[in-house]
Amino acid sequence: MTNNMPEQPHFAASRRRWWIALLTVCLLAAVVYFLPITLPIPIHRGETAQRPTASARAVPVVAEPARTGDIRVYLNGIGSVTPLATVTVRTRVDGQLMTVLFKEGQVVKKGDLLLEIDPRPFEVQLTQAEGEMARDAALLSNSRVDLERDKVLAAQNSIPKQELDTQEALVRQYEGAVKADQGKIENAKLQLVYCRITAPFDGRLGFRLVDPGNIVHSNDPGGLVVITQLEPIAVVFGVPEDSLPPLLQKIKTGETLPVEAFDREQARLLAKGSLLTLDNEVDPSTGTVRLKAQFPNDDGALYPNQFVNARLLLDVHRGATLVPVTAVHHGTQGTFVYVVKADHSVELRPVHVGITEGDDASVDTGVSPGDLVVVDGADGLRKGSTVTLQPRSAATVLHDK
């Protein structure tokens, strides 16, 4: 017979308590299982914890001591080579170009004969002027003789005063004619001089612009050849207008300021010279003032319109504290260096950097001469890090790491 009686209340309650107890046991087993992983294992007295050694934590670095030395203050600017003189050689007389006595690109001296214009028309003019001169000189001589005669006759009242005055005027007229003839002679001689065209100064010639046989004129726009002075030569470059006050102060003292010219990559020194002058205004579009430096250019290293990087030595700071540029770092806390202390730990020390020249930087505050500063391997450093010092030859290896 099937029992259809309903389940008793006390039996259902005991069943629920059994499930709660089972769930509690499972939770406790889970906590016991994971407890060794999440909690640290206590170290009993007498036991030693396994910690990394000091050598494993040390960071290999290259360090150099700060030193005392001189550092130069430079003004740098981009410029171009400019000749001190460039002349387009032209003819001053009209005529046929007979001879070209130079080679294109030739270096010439002042007074060297370059070209010759046909002189024959001017030789004819000279002959004519000399003939007129001879005629008028003879007339002048004869009129002077007549004047002396008339003076004697006028003193004797043998001729009227008017005739004497007329003779005196005639003498002055012939004197004027002789002077005019002399001017024509000098002009013809000058034209003959102009037929021989010479170099106005030492320099290099460009390409020939007119071939022999052509008729040239004094008003031709192209000229005959261009000559450019190369020795000495100038470089025009610009510096920021903020550099103007100390620069003007140096110029007022009459001190000669050296200037160096480097190539486009600033890798090769081309020439050494000195500051010649500066412009009389600041360019408002660039905020720079133009300077002109002069170079002897004996070796011809500088060429007109060549691009150069100019560097003007403005001042020299003596006895400055110097550190390598690679030792200086910039961060949220400002400019700083890592200083290696006696216990081979590093200290992050704020510094104020003054002037930078090449691989050196002057430090006004924060570092003293002799302090050991990290120059390579600082990427992995923090304040208080322990370091091992490496030789300078290891800098490339540390950089690669």
pLDDT (average), residues 37-53: 42
Domain count, the chain: 4
Q: Which three-class secondary structure state does DSSP give residue 370?
A: coil
pLDDT band at 394 (very low <50, low <70, confident <90, very high): low
Asked if pLDDT for residue 397 goes beyond 60, the answer is no
Mark whether 248 and 313 lie in a shared domain. yes
pLDDT on residue 382: 82
Residue 41 lies in a domain: no
Asked if pLDDT for residue 169 goes beyond 90, the answer is yes
- Is 386 or 393 the better-scoring residue by pLDDT? 386
- Indicate which CATH number applies to the domain containing 64: 2.40.420.20
pLDDT band at 186 (very low <50, low <70, confident <90, very high): very high
Q: What tens digit of pLDDT does each residue of 281-301 get?
A: 999 998 999 999 999 999 989
Asked if pLDDT for residue 102 goes beyond 70, the answer is yes
Query: What is the amino acid identity at position 247?
Result: L
Mark whether 275 and 154 lie in a shared domain. no
DSSP class of residue 345 equals B
Average per-residue pLDDT for the chain: 85
pLDDT on residue 3: 45
Least reliable range by pLDDT among 47-51, 141-145, 169-173, 331-335:
47-51
Question: Can you say how many angstroms the Cα of residue 258 is from the centroid of all Cα atoms in its chain?
Answer: 13
Asked if pLDDT for residue 35 goes beyond 60, the answer is no
Q: What is 53-119 written as a DSSP string?
A: -HHHHPEEEEEEE-EEEEEEEEEEEEEEEEES-EEEE--SS-EEEEEE---TT-EE-TT-EEEEE--
- Indicate which CATH number applies to the domain containing 244: 2.40.30.170
**pTM given for the model:** 0.65
Count Cα atoms within 13 angstroms, Cβ side, for 197: 28
Mark whether 128 and 240 lie in a shared domain. no
pLDDT on residue 26: 66
Q: Which domain holds residue 335?
A: 59-70+319-400
Asked if pLDDT for residue 269 goes beyond 60, the answer is yes
User: What is the rounded CA–CA span in Å between residue 158 and residue 148?
Assistant: 14
Asked if pLDDT for residue 192 goes beyond 70, the answer is yes
- Indicate which CATH number applies to the domain containing 130: 1.10.287.470
Asked if pLDDT for residue 58 goes beyond 60, the answer is yes
Q: What tens digit of pLDDT does each residue of 3-29 get?
A: 444 445 444 555 666 667 667 766 666
